[in-house]
Amino acid sequence: MKHIDLHKLADEAKFNGFHRGVLLWCALIIIFDGYDLAVAGIALPSIMKGMGVSPTNAGFMVSSALFGMMFGAIFLGTIADRIGRRRAIAICIALFSLFTAAAGLTSDPVTFSVTRFLAGLGIGGVMPNVVAQMTEYSPRKIRSTMVTLMFSGYAVGGMLAAVVGKGLLESYGWQSVFLAAGLPVLLIPVILTFMPESMPFLIKTGQKARLQHIAAQLSPGYRPQPGDSFDLPQQDRDTSAPIGKLFQDGRGFSTVMFWIAFFMCLFMVYALSSWLTKLMAGAGYTLGSALTFVLVLNFGGMFGAIGGGWLADRFHIKYVLVGMYLLAAVSISLLGYSVPTSVLYALVGLAGASTIGTQIVTYAYVGQYYPMAVRSTGIGWASGVGRSGAILAPIVIGSLVAMALPLEQNFLAIALPAVIAAVAVFCIQHGRAGQAHGADSPVPSGTPAVAAK
């Protein structure tokens, strides 16, 4: 008879086909999620023309999905720790696929906004769940790289929306790009069949056969025996009062710091996504050049995410993030000054790497900080609170643009949150939490993951 410490088994596993499969499914979900999020912006000019809506109403129609994402991240992230992560992911896929497709069948702004809000519940809810899933099953040595590599699928989804959207819009109208978003619902049976369930949920529900199967995949040398028992450290298996546990065991102050960092970073991401084209066009660049800046921003975000994850696996993720936030403050501030075009493109790429990329690395950090039992809850609440920054950013920066301030002051306003986020991350406490990066497992060194009894 053996006693298997699943947490330690996952930490010390060598990358294999099982990990590749989890990465594939999570990345695919994120790609479709990214498509659903980007598709409204791609089709917005055609929607405005087709429905005859004003820019103000169009802005509300787009922001309705952001409101849905805020609630989805909080509530669908929280229930995953109670009903199982696979089931929560399936619910999210159904929401963002079916209701994005439903938006293509609407003909008035109100109905469109309602369907986009409901789709936003799934778009926002799937994020904490796939981050928690990837974090739970990734070997510790490459955990940040795995999470950020998976999350870079958002950029792929956005580019997919642009490429597919261009062809569909010209041939079939704006409705077609939304109807195409319904296809991922076909993935739900496959996800429920092949994606592994979270380990704390399997232990809580006594699903020993599935635990043996997962243990054998994590450690190919393991041979299941009838008397084997499975366990996790206490903080990883205690699922009582999951929201309250975000503030227990010395995690309360750091939880608030994560929320501040998420708010500030998402503020910067959506401020740049919403206003970079307008600000650059106002600075004298052609519309084509201004749109190219947005493309460079997103490419920078993808490289920043992967590069940041690679650095976080080699150095302390906390200090990597502080450096990335400070880079954001500098690069965004410099966007407001007159520099050669080649230098400006480089600054925009750095701004993307240190905002979009940094947000993805921050997801990886919060996923590593919390115990398995409340990981989805912790990520969901940080993402949900942070989403209010995404909602406020277009409004705040739009008000500043309306004041006709100098260009450098607009970019300084976007850069200031980076300094606040850097301070917040720097203040995150590790010693008292006992579950932060670098201290994932409380099992003493030298204790085998599979111990004979």
Binned at pLDDT 50, 70 and 90, residue 324 comes out as very high
Over residues 171-191, mean pLDDT: 87
Over residues 149-168, mean pLDDT: 77
- For residue 195, which of 375, 12, 16, 19 has the smallest C-alpha distance? 19
Binned at pLDDT 50, 70 and 90, residue 260 comes out as very high
Provide, rounded to the nearest whole percent, the portion of the chain with pLDDT above 70. Answer: 81
Over residues 125-151, mean pLDDT: 84
Binned at pLDDT 50, 70 and 90, residue 340 comes out as confident
**Cβ atoms of 17 and 453 closer than 8 Å:** no
Write down the pLDDT at residue 423.
94
Over residues 137-156, mean pLDDT: 82
Q: Render pLDDT for 5-57 as a digit per residue (tens, 0 to 9).
A: 777 777 888 888 888 888 988 898 888 887 887 777 667 667 777 888 776 67
Over residues 219-224, mean pLDDT: 72
Q: What is the enclosing helix (H) or strand (E) of 451?
A: strand 450-452
Q: Render pLDDT for 350-377 as a digit per residue (tens, 0 to 9).
A: 998 898 889 888 888 887 787 766 777 7
Q: Whole-angstrom Cα distance, residue 161 to residue 325?
A: 28
Write down the pLDDT at residue 451.
45
- Domains parsed from the chain with CATH numbers: 1-205 (1.20.1250.20), 233-440 (1.20.1250.20)
Binned at pLDDT 50, 70 and 90, residue 430 comes out as low
CA atoms within 13 A on the CB side of 16: 13
Q: Render pLDDT for 49-92 as a digit per residue (tens, 0 to 9).
A: 788 877 667 667 777 888 888 888 878 877 776 788 889 999 99
Identify the bridge partners of residue 451 per DSSP, sorted by sequence position: 3
Write down the pLDDT at residue 441.
37
Write down the pLDDT at residue 41.
67
Over residues 118-146, mean pLDDT: 86
How many H helices and E strands in the chain? 18, 3
Q: Pick 334 or 161 by higher pLDDT.
A: 334
Q: Whole-angstrom Cα distance, residue 199 to residue 34?
A: 27
Q: For all residues of the chain together, what is the average pLDDT? A: 79
Comparing 239-253, 367-381, 439-453, the range with the smallest average pLDDT is 439-453
Has residue 435 got a pLDDT over 50? no
Cα torsion 184, 189, 191, 192 to 10°: value is: 150
- CB under 8 Å, gap of 24 or more: what pairs does 436-439 form? 436/254, 436/368, 436/369, 437/312, 437/316, 437/317, 437/318, 437/365, 437/368, 437/369, 438/316
**Cβ atoms of 86 and 138 closer than 8 Å:** no
Over residues 291-317, mean pLDDT: 81
Write down the pLDDT at residue 323.
93
Binned at pLDDT 50, 70 and 90, residue 301 comes out as confident
Comparing 2-11, 100-109, 149-158, 256-265, the range with the smallest average pLDDT is 2-11
Write down the pLDDT at residue 227.
66
Has residue 98 got a pLDDT over 90? yes
Over residues 155-180, mean pLDDT: 79
- 408 to 191, 333, 366, 392, 414: CA distances (angstroms): 48, 7, 33, 20, 10
Has residue 151 got a pLDDT over 70? yes
- For residue 123, which of 85, 159, 95, 82 has the smallest C-alpha distance? 95
Binned at pLDDT 50, 70 and 90, residue 438 comes out as very low
Has residue 266 got a pLDDT over 80? yes
Provide, rounded to the nearest whole percent, the portion of the chain with pLDDT above 90. Answer: 12
Write down the pLDDT at residue 434.
47
